[in-house]
Amino acid sequence: MKKVFMSAMFVAAATLSTMSYADNQCDEKYIVGPVETIYVKDLDMDYKARIDTGANTTSINAYDLHVIDGNNNPNDTKKSWQENLGKMISFKTANAQGQEQTHTSKIIKISKIRNAQGVERRYAVVMDLVWNGKNHAIPVNLRDRKKLEYKLLIGRNWLDGRYLVDVSKHDDDD
């Protein structure tokens, strides 16, 4: 019994030695909570973001989308959306504090998203997201999230290989 207890203590000590809650790190990965404040460098705005391990791609509140010199009324065929790939898109966005920006960026991807409402297509642009001084440029889906509590949803494309999610962590803990 003593050997089992000593083995358990050794494992616990080894695990704790790789964790540093003061630095929000564990095994070279940063620890984020279910909600974090993310600075979107391209927009010069902070967003209270929901961390969603079930979402493949990060999604931001975007409305009044306008493809510059492109098809602004694509029907639901893949080909009609693909015609706009590589073109510039202008859109408005707002965070939960009511700050609003208009932004123009290049469409880098068109995604087919399955969610509770069904299947929809979305444009994606690259945005530079900053958390605690660490920035990472990733594809971000454009979706009208005005009626949703969180105007920025962080998906696995931002988390992958860099972050671990601790659901007991609060945004103020940083």
List, for residues 118-127, the tens digit of each pLDDT value: 888 999 999 9
Half-sphere exposure of 73 (CA within 13 A, CB side): 0
User: At 3, is the pLDDT very low, low, confident or very high (cuts 50, 70, 90)?
Assistant: low
3-state secondary structure of 108: coil
If you average pLDDT over every residue of the chain, what do you get? 87
Tokens of 143: 């979706």
Question: Could you give the domains of the chain?
Answer: 24-173 (2.40.70.10)
Q: How distant is the alpha carbon of residue 124 from its chain centre? A: 12
- Cα 82 to Cα 65, 72, 89, distances in angstroms: 16, 12, 13
What pLDDT digit, counting tens, does each position of 6-34 carry? Answer: 444 444 444 444 444 445 677 789 999 99
pLDDT of residue 20: 45
Distance set, CA 153 to CA 15, 50, 71, 133, 174 (Å): 30, 5, 27, 19, 19
pLDDT recorded at residue 18: 46
Average confidence (pLDDT) over 144-166: 96
Percent of the residues in the chain that have a pLDDT greater than 70, as a whole number: 84
Tell me which of 21-25, 33-37, 52-56, 93-97 is least confident. 21-25
Paired sense of beta strands 109-115 and 118-131, if any: antiparallel
